[in-house]
Amino acid sequence: MSKNTFKGLNHITLRVNNIEKAETFYGEILGFNVEKKMGRSMTVYRIGKDSLVLVEAETEYERSSKDYRVDHFGFFVDTPEEVDQLAEYFQENEVTILSGPSNRKTGRFVFISDPDGNMIEICTEAS
């Protein structure tokens, strides 16, 4: 198998405790469009060429356990100003900001948390 076999990320699947709360966050707060729903417990969002899949867990897990299987995932925006505008928007909508907005060598970022404690990075890369 060649190292060039893989062409990119196909999807990320997140287990969530409450599909309705997760759909409100990803659909209304972040503004992602539903590509399809699969039954009552699975929602697929298309973001560019990638997919984010939400699956409601059969048994709820405790957020404070911090037993993360995924550290975080990130979404690009075009400008540092957009990072700042989104940070303000998140504050207005009571979304937990974990870090930032801040600069780093490669651009600007803000880390937020979804309703289940999944960490999300919103970032821009310097040109």
**Domains of the chain by residue range:** 9-59, 71-127
* pLDDT at residue 81 tops 70: yes
Residue 102 confidence (pLDDT): 95
pTM: 0.73
Say what the alpha-carbon torsion angle 63, 39, 52, 31 is, to the nearest 10 degrees.
-90
Residue 12 confidence (pLDDT): 87
| Topology agreement, domain 9-59 and domain 71-127 | yes
Residue 11 confidence (pLDDT): 79
CATH class of 9-59: alpha beta
* pLDDT at residue 76 tops 70: yes
Residue 108 confidence (pLDDT): 93
Q: Does domain 71-127 have CATH number 3.10.180.10?
A: yes
Q: Which two tokens stand for residue 97?
A: 């900001």
Q: Which residue's entry shows tokens 């289940």?
A: 116
Contacts of 96 (CB under 8 A, 6+ apart): 112, 113
* pLDDT at residue 13 tops 80: yes
Residue 115 confidence (pLDDT): 92
50: pLDDT confidence band, cut at 50, 70 and 90?
confident
Kindly state the percentage of the chain with pLDDT values over 70: 81
